[in-house]
Amino acid sequence: MAGCKVKSLLKYEKSDNTVTIHVDSSILQVQIIDHYIIHIKKVLDNSVASKIPDYVTVLSPQKTPWQVAEKNGQVIISTDSVKVIVNANGNIQYQNQKDNKLLSETKDYTYINPKNQGNKVSQSFAVGDEAIYGLV
């Protein structure tokens, strides 16, 4: 349909260096650390904040120009080096500024399973012929 506008299915808020996106029963925080470093955090809506320090992202957010926009039902967060695209079901895709896909999350084996014994989390990614190491 020509001229048909796609309404965003995602509700989001922007702060100084973070975009918080609400997807189904989870909250996705996209934090801009610098031009190349984007810190992603997914939690369930009703989860209790962790008291464990974040040892993964130790660099404080830098003064980095960035933008957030909606297009075709997606939220697109971009710096001058990378783009993070969040689609309507919460899957995340990473691209460079030339729109070359770097990495994309898939729904295969991706879940947050809250149980009394603690949250069990799994994520899967499509990366082409590369391997990703160090994700726990």
Question: For the segment 74-113, what is each residue's pLDDT rounded down to a tens digit?
Answer: 999 999 999 999 998 888 999 999 998 888 887 665 556 6
Which neighbouring-strand residues pair with 103? 94
Report the distance separating Cα 118 and Cα 58, nearest Å. Answer: 24
Confidence class of residue 10 from pLDDT cuts 50, 70 and 90?
confident
Reported pTM: 0.75
Which neighbouring-strand residues pair with 86? 75, 92
Go through the domains of the chain in sequence order and give each one's CATH number. Answer: 11-46+63-126 (2.60.40.1760)
Rounded to an integer, what is the distance from CA 136 to the centroid of its chain? 17
Percent of the chain topping pLDDT 70: 71
Report the distance separating Cα 87 and Cα 91, nearest Å. Answer: 6
Report residue 44 as tokens: 């369930």
Percent of the chain topping pLDDT 90: 37
Please state, rounded to an integer, the average pLDDT across all residues of the chain.
80
The confidence score (pLDDT) of residue 1 equals 42
The confidence score (pLDDT) of residue 136 equals 46
The confidence score (pLDDT) of residue 46 equals 78
In the predicted structure, residue 7 carries a pLDDT above the cut 70? no
Confidence class of residue 117 from pLDDT cuts 50, 70 and 90?
low
DSSP state of 46: T
The confidence score (pLDDT) of residue 25 equals 80
- Residue 16 backbone dihedrals phi, psi, to 5 degrees: -50, -50
